[in-house]
Amino acid sequence: MTSKSIIAAVLLAAVTGTTNAQTEQVERTEQAESAAHVCPPLRSNAHIGFTYPLSTNGMAAPEYSNMFSIHALAGVSRAEEAFCAAGIANVVKDSVRGFIGSGVVNVIGNHARGMQAAGVANYTGNSVKGFQAAGAVNVAGSVDGAQAGGFANMAVHEVKGLQAAGFINVADTATAQIAGYINVAEHTKTQVAGFINVANEVEGAQIAGFINVAHKVKGAQIAGFINIADSSDCPIGLINIIRNGELAIGTMMNETGTTLFTFRSGGKKLYGIIGAGGNITDGYRAYALQAGLGMHIPVTRAFRFNGEVTVTSLSDRWWNTDIRSGIKIMPSIRLGSIELFAGPSFNYTATNDIQGVGRVGYSVWDYRSPWGYSHDLSIGAEGGIQFHLDSHKIMKKITAKNNQAAE
């Protein structure tokens, strides 16, 4: 008997003078009525059918728990405890243990333990412990295991394991996400995407073909183009916008006369390099592009070494192109926002420069092929100056624009 019924009975006795015995009789009557509405669970060893309700469990199929179920088109049940298969769809009101498979969709109202396989989609309202595999989409409340979807995976809460999708993964918390295009998570250890990763906190790595976005990264951000974060231990990308990192624009020249305007960006340790410029020495006009990675090696607050690995293309945009790969160690002095740097470089240059004016420094080895190509190992020097920007203000502007777009 419910608490409301007891209160109602007591009030009735007080108002009408009903005796205690009468009150007890009311309670017994209500308990008997409640028990009459509670049906014992129905169970069957085998449930075989064409489609609901044309099956061995008939109209009562939604109340049955089955050990083995197989249907030509669609099946309905309360629970499945071992094996369930249908040509088009399975609908289970409560929970599943074991294997459930269909040609189109599996719908489970509560928990699933085991494997779900569907040609198009799997949906589990609560938790999944095991494996979801679908040709298009997997959806679950939480996952302890793995989701593999041809297009997308979605977990409302936590994924203790792997999400792998052809296009997008979404989760509140995920151990690992691998997607062909985009991963989205509040907290994650590893994200790997063909285009973009988005997360609040990362304790491991973000790896994207184009861009990574995060609030806090304890580990590595590796992007083909750009990383954005409030804090990031090891951003590896051509452009890295890190709130507590460094951003600098500058100019530099090497021993061959190639002059570049550069943008260096990154964290306290690692940074990316992009540059553009040219070379007009010896009456030969060439255009230069540069990309690379660098590392800060601090000595004092104002003095440090910058180690860099770069690739520079020098071309007249017609017939001649020099590709120079260089390693350099450049001592630098920073005075406020200004940094001065210069140092030696060791370079490998490959060129198809048929005019014989390839840009190399002091050559220690060279080879000229009969087909007009040349290869050089050389020692050179580079130096320049750069101006450090306020990364906090830049991130604040980016955040403000994102908030406006979201509104």
**CA distances (Å), 64 to each of 47, 106, 131, in order?**
9, 17, 24
What is the reported pLDDT for 306? 97
What is the average per-residue pLDDT within 192-206? 97
Tens-place pLDDT, residues 311-341: 999 888 777 788 999 999 999 999 999 999 9
Confidence of residue 172 (pLDDT cuts 50, 70, 90): very high
pLDDT exceeds 50 at position 9: no
Residue 309 has pLDDT above 80, yes or no: yes
Residue 159 confidence (pLDDT):
97
Q: Which residue has the higher pLDDT, 260 or 374?
A: 260
Q: What is the pLDDT of residue 5?
A: 38
Strands (E), 54-151: 54-55, 64-77, 79-86, 89-92, 96-102, 105-108, 112-118, 121-134, 137-149
- DSSP string over 177-231: EEESSEEEEEEEEEEEESSEEEEEEEEEEEEESSEEEEEEEEEEEEESSEEEEEE
Amino acid identity, position 364: V
Torsion of CA 178, 181, 186, 192, to 10 degrees: 40
Q: How many Å apart are CA 51 and CA 204, to the nearest integer?
A: 48
CA distance 235 to 295: 11
Q: Are 245 and 232 in contact (CB under 8 A)?
A: yes
State the pLDDT at residue 10: 29
**pLDDT confidence of residue 375:** 87
Which structure tokens are listed for 170? 């979404």
SS3 state at 51: strand
Write out pLDDT tens, residues 56-65: 999 999 999 9
Report angle CA 162, 166, 172 to the nearest 5 degrees. Answer: 45
pLDDT of 320 reads: 75
Phi/psi at 106 (nearest 5 deg)?
Answer: -115, 130
Residues 114-124: tens digit of each pLDDT: 999 999 999 99
Contact between residue 258 and residue 312 where contact means Cβ atoms under 8 Å apart = yes
Give CA–CA dist 252/261, Å, rounded.
7
Average pLDDT over residues 136-154: 98
Q: Per-residue DSSP letters for 4-17?
A: HHHHHHHHHHHHH-
Express each pLDDT in 10-58 by its tens digit: 222 332 333 344 334 435 444 544 443 445 679 999 999 999 999 999 9
* Mean pLDDT score, 156-160: 96
Average pLDDT, the chain: 87
Structure tokens at 245: 């990192």
Closest among 58, 57, 60, 59 to 68, alpha carbons compared: 57
Lowest mean pLDDT among 38-47, 198-207, 246-255, 258-267: 38-47
| Strand, helix or coil for residue 195 | coil
95 token code pair: 């929970």
Give the β-pairing of 89-92 and 121-134: unpaired
- Which tops the pLDDT comparison, 162 or 362? 162
What average pLDDT does this structure show over 350-356? Answer: 67
pLDDT at 357: 46
